[in-house]
Structure 1
Amino acid sequence: MEATRLDPFNKPNRSIEHLIDIDVTMTVQSAVERSPFLRPSNPRLIKKAQQSQITKTQERKSSLLGAYTNLCNVTMGAGIVGMPYAIKEAGLVPGTVMIIICAFLTDYSLRQLISVGKVADVNSYETLMEASFGRPGFIFLSVNMFLLSLGSMIAYLIIIKDTLPVLLQVAPDDEDTKRMIMFISSLFIILPLSMQRDISDLEKTSKFNVILNTIMVSLVAGFSPIKESVSASGGIMQLLSDEKILDISTFFIGFGVCSFAFVCQDSSFIIAGSMSKPTKFRWKKVTQGAMLTCVILELTMGVSGYLAYQKNAVGNILNNMNTHHWSGVASRSILCATMFFAYPINLYIGRHACMVLFFKGVSAHEGDDARVLARRDRRIILTLVLYISSLLPAIFLEKTGNVLAATGAIGGSSLAYIGPGASFLAVWGHLFLDLVRSRWHDPSRRCYGFPRKDGQQNETAIEANEETSIGDVFFWFALGMPIWCSVARIGEKQLAAHFEREMLISPGIIKPRRVSVNPIRTGTPMVHTQLIPPSKLIPGGSLETSSLLDPNSATIYGSSQDNPQDKEMQPMDRIDSFTSVEVKIEMDKTVPTIMEFWVAIGYIILGLVAMIFGLGSIIVQH
């Protein structure tokens, strides 16, 4: 009776594969009834037809190496040729440290995003922000994802416009010919590559791109006039002594370029979900390997390019190299090839952002690109619109450095720093608020925004503690606690509403157990179950869901504690019950430490400062 009340149709939920099987079978049967000549001669034909229907919407998966090269490809892109310009703006020592720190912050945030996404039970960056901050968070993230992708595509086309005509011996002042070469080359090379549906289809080009970037960095480091330039400056020690330790007026321009070069958080869920065996352990190997590769290549490019050309370094360092020497010609040729191969993967991310913003339905909202873009007309139209949107600005813009800095200041800061920090603080908001209450106890009204517990009367609390110390009040506001507590409270409420919606949407048989709101409020780690044992199934295939929906239920099936050795190897991506019968288990059951909360707050502050000062520096400089 309880199952009947929960399911008005009194029918068990079925997976999409089962529905497709029924549809294909009915189609074959109706064809047989219409004409005996259509009767299949072999029963295997029916099975083949069923499998073909299913595989049309299944995403092709990437290997561990493919995910690594895709992450390297989307991380480096055009930013690698802007590293000398970033060091010029930030300074040699600060710029070098900046590149290393950006790589470390990127690696940490990539893994933290997936871990927090598991806690919130989401499978994309934008739905993580929606679970944390509602619809405004979803739009904020999706718009910045689109802006960063569009800025990247514009920068790639500008670099092609600057580089390819030089190889074809076009006069430097012949702008019309340059634009025509850029248009024709992108039309016949970039556009066909961008029409692919799945990101795994770009796996081979990404592998090739990593090799080309390595060769290009080696050419710049090996054939740039580093010795001559450093000797003309009086040696390396004299060069360091002549530089300012930190020039705030230009540092954040370089930081914007560096953020642009390393930002790849917008593709974290996409690449992680494209892995054939998506586990936390394998994703860690991918991120660490990719960031190590990127920091070595970009640091080598940045330092060698800056030492060779110093204050004359431009946004595209290859424009500084000798156009008549074979190394300059080879470097430009490789750069053009890398831009052709890096553009499609960024268009894929921009297309994903457009899909979740403008298309309706669960598949689009959840970011299931393979299913939504299985329709060829949708994929072609979106790809053409994005291609034209990047082509038109690239025709008229000239300076790559400004595009990299502005895009990094806005989109890079939002995606790489503000988004990961804010989502972590929101998803673990209940624990953060408990830590705040344990530290500040029950202060008086002078601590504005103090998180009172539900039902607690402010007047009673104030009367009980009128003597709040001046030090507590000072640190409360100096640390910005009213802001962080507000973010945590919003996240606590939005996450509770998110889980309630999810339980109402999918209370069915195959759906992994949704933890009720009560454990989230009390700090109990979220746990997903494996398939429910047969003893929990009632006749007819329906699920006895009363125990699953009971907030006080302590029954947990298939906990990863059953096999501690496999804890790090549990599935990482969210597998929806309507597309697969595979079951995911929550991996990260550790409660966040105080330091992790301060790191998240530091990410938010860093993103806000980088955005404000980055845009301000660009405006002042021009």
Structure 2
Amino acid sequence: MELQKLSNGNHHDIGVPVEEGAPSEEERFLQHKDKGLKRPQFTDFEGKTSFGMSVFNLSNAIMGSGILGLSYAMSNTGIVLFLILLTFIACLSCYSVHLLLRSAGVVGIRAYEQLGFRAFGHPGKILAAVIITLHNIGAMSSYLFIVKYELPLVIQAFLGQTSSSEQWFMNGNYLIIIVTACIILPLAMMKHLGYLGYTSGFSLSCMVFFLSAVIYKRFNIACPLEVFGNYSLNADIPEDTCIAKFFTINQETAYTIPILAFAFVCHPEVLPIYTELSNRVLHCVGYSRVLSPTRRRMQNIGNVSIMGMFTMYFFTAIFGYLTFYENTEAELLHTYNKVDPLDTLILCVRLAVLVAVTLTVPVVLFPIRRALLQLLFPGKPFHWLRHISIAVCLLFAVNLLVILVPNIRDIFGITGATTAPTLIFILPGLFYIRIIPTDQEPMNCRSKIQAACFTALGFMFMTMSLTFIGLDWMSGEKRNLGGH
């Protein structure tokens, strides 16, 4: 009853919840000239998602297929240099979340596209929506490509077949349609992103199983490797093959930064998760107090999620690297297959990775749908038909792309090299500079100078990534840039 009285006594608009007796973020930072100005409404905001579920959803958004390439990245940098770079990128990602939340708090808006509108008008809104859409469609397609090519091999191994079959259930195109219709679409039709916290938790548990298997295999695969088949890597092996390197610089080292940067992309999901973050009741002696989903709570969610993925990334990379050393391939599971393609544990791990990427697709779809709703139906209330139709159309388009295009790696490379740095570095920095009032923080203050340097770093990453792709095209080589 106390909670009900407190809720009824709060006359603030539900779109911008506040702590009782304390001014909202909008009131603290945004000076209203017109007292009758209506505050922004959030059509999907009901504050039902707990702190833990929000951590699961954001962690699942961070976790991508790029984790399979981290051991390869470590083999091209060395353990110490990899750890330095991983720490650097994780800290930058936390700072990027801080810039987004700070900008959202000033104007009382928790939509990426609306931040673009406040910063640059309609062009900014369109640009933010297009970048989110392109990046997340690329991510969804990469996940379904894993299903398309890996699931038939897993089925083949569990059936004990040594060669590919012509049966329909071994066709990757049919399998992605079945997986989409039976698993992804029902989850994508849920009204709130918070409901996916349970599937996100299960997806993360699958990746924990993957990490556990990598650690276990480290102590069960001898070095030098004895490769399954008619040849062996033991012939003419250099003496330092099984010695871990702490610092390594080679032609592939420069690719590590884009790989790690792309591995922490979660920013399109930050504001939707912030929007659905629930109120928290603080019980004190003699009274209860309702705490709104403040910027600090969301920042804590971002920090916990990024640090959790930082830990998982590092342990996956180091134990995978200490298993294969210089023989580590760009896709870690393929390296295990060279040792023994019929290993039951590795087959279970492959299945777990397939489950994890499948359950991540609905989480990635939500920001695309939100961006399209902001562009096509601004200010419209929630409608089930619109909600479901956008999900069906997006999944149909992604399935069509994965089925008809045999190799879209270059498309992924271009979009990933442009959209990932834009979402992590460029847009959060620009939003902060444009949205924070100059009477609060002048352009020459330290925070805005840091944001400007952060934006410049994003342009540098973008230029570097595009340069790598251009060199690949000219040389005819195809390197793995990782990512989601």
Q: TM-score, normalised by structure 2?
A: 0.74
1:70 and 2:65 aligned: no
Q: Is the 8 A contact 1:161 1:182 kept in 2?
A: yes
1:128 and 2:146 aligned: no
Distance 1:288 1:324 in 2: 39
| Pairs within 5 Å for 1:73-88 | 73-88=60-75
Match of 1:205 in 2: 199
CA 1:397–1:320: 2 relative to 1, 3 Å: farther
Deviation at 1:93, TM superposition (A): 4.4
Match of 1:320 in 2: 335
| Pairs within 5 Å for 1:341-490 | 341-359=359-377, 361-363=378-380, 371-372=381-382, 375-395=383-403, 405-428=413-436, 430=438, 434=442, 436=444
Distance 1:398 1:93 in 2: 38
CA 1:132–1:204: 2 relative to 1, 3 Å: same
1:302 and 2:296 aligned: no
Q: Is the 8 A contact 2:78 2:244 kept in 1?
A: no
Code of the aligned partner of 2:88: I
Equivalent position SS for 2:190: coil
Q: Is the 8 A contact 1:220 1:331 kept in 2?
A: no
Deviation at 1:255, TM superposition (A): 2.6
Deviation at 1:129, TM superposition (A): 2.0
Distance 2:385 2:117 in 1: 28
Q: Is the 8 A contact 1:226 1:308 kept in 2?
A: yes
| 2:186 alignment partner, one of 153, 170, 192 | 192
Code of the aligned partner of 1:382: I
Q: Between Structure 1 and Structure 2, whose CA radius of gyration is higher?
A: 1
Match of 2:101 in 1: 114
CA 1:221–1:345: 2 relative to 1, 3 Å: same
Match of 2:21 in 1: none
Distance 1:264 1:615 in 2: 21
Q: Is the 8 A contact 1:417 1:604 kept in 2?
A: yes
Code of the aligned partner of 1:273: T
Distance 1:299 1:201 in 2: 29
CA 1:174–1:203: 2 relative to 1, 3 Å: same
Distance 2:459 2:162 in 1: 43
Code of the aligned partner of 1:154: S
Distance 1:15 1:92 in 2: 51
| Pairs within 5 Å for 1:544-583 | none
Distance 1:196 1:282 in 2: 24
Match of 2:245 in 1: 240
Equivalent position SS for 1:341: helix
| Pairs within 5 Å for 1:538-549 | none
Q: Is the 8 A contact 2:188 2:391 kept in 1?
A: yes
Distance 1:64 1:325 in 2: 39
| Pairs within 5 Å for 1:87-102 | 87-88=74-75, 93-102=80-89
Compute the RMSD of aligned alpha carbons.
3.3
| 1:335 alignment partner, one of 353, 375, 385 | 353
Deviation at 1:614, TM superposition (A): 0.6
Code of the aligned partner of 2:299: K
Distance 1:94 1:14 in 2: 50
Deviation at 1:206, TM superposition (A): 1.0
| Pairs within 5 Å for 1:26-175 | 59=46, 61-88=48-75, 93-169=80-156
| 1:215 alignment partner, one of 202, 209, 230 | 209
Equivalent position SS for 2:245: helix
TM-superposition CA deviations, 1:150-205 (whole Å, max 9, x none): 01101101111222112111767679722222222222221221121210121110
Distance 1:94 1:406 in 2: 26
TM-superposition CA deviations, 1:134-158 (whole Å, max 9, x none): 2222122111111111011011011
Deviation at 1:79, TM superposition (A): 2.7
Q: Is the 8 A contact 1:63 1:275 kept in 2?
A: yes
Equivalent position SS for 2:438: helix
How many residues are treated as equivalent by the alignment? 402
Q: Is the 8 A contact 1:113 1:420 kept in 2?
A: yes
Distance 1:305 1:403 in 2: 29
More relative contact order, 1 or 2 (CA 8 Å, 6+ apart)? 2
Distance 2:182 2:172 in 1: 16
Code of the aligned partner of 2:367: I
Equivalent position SS for 1:388: helix
Deviation at 1:399, TM superposition (A): 7.0
Q: TM-score, normalised by structure 1?
A: 0.59
Distance 2:242 2:306 in 1: 30
CA 1:57–1:305: 2 relative to 1, 3 Å: closer
Deviation at 1:349, TM superposition (A): 1.4
Match of 1:556 in 2: none
Deviation at 1:94, TM superposition (A): 3.7
Match of 1:280 in 2: 295
Distance 2:163 2:179 in 1: 18
Distance 1:146 1:302 in 2: 30
Equivalent position SS for 1:196: coil
Distance 1:326 1:598 in 2: 54
Code of the aligned partner of 2:391: T
Q: Is the 8 A contact 1:421 1:601 kept in 2?
A: yes
Deviation at 1:318, TM superposition (A): 1.9
Distance 1:90 1:392 in 2: 38
CA 1:233–1:428: 2 relative to 1, 3 Å: farther
Deviation at 1:16, TM superposition (A): 10
Q: Is the 8 A contact 1:161 1:178 kept in 2?
A: yes
Identity %, equivalent residues:
24
CA 1:103–1:273: 2 relative to 1, 3 Å: same
Equivalent position SS for 1:362: coil
Distance 2:238 2:129 in 1: 47
Deviation at 1:384, TM superposition (A): 1.5
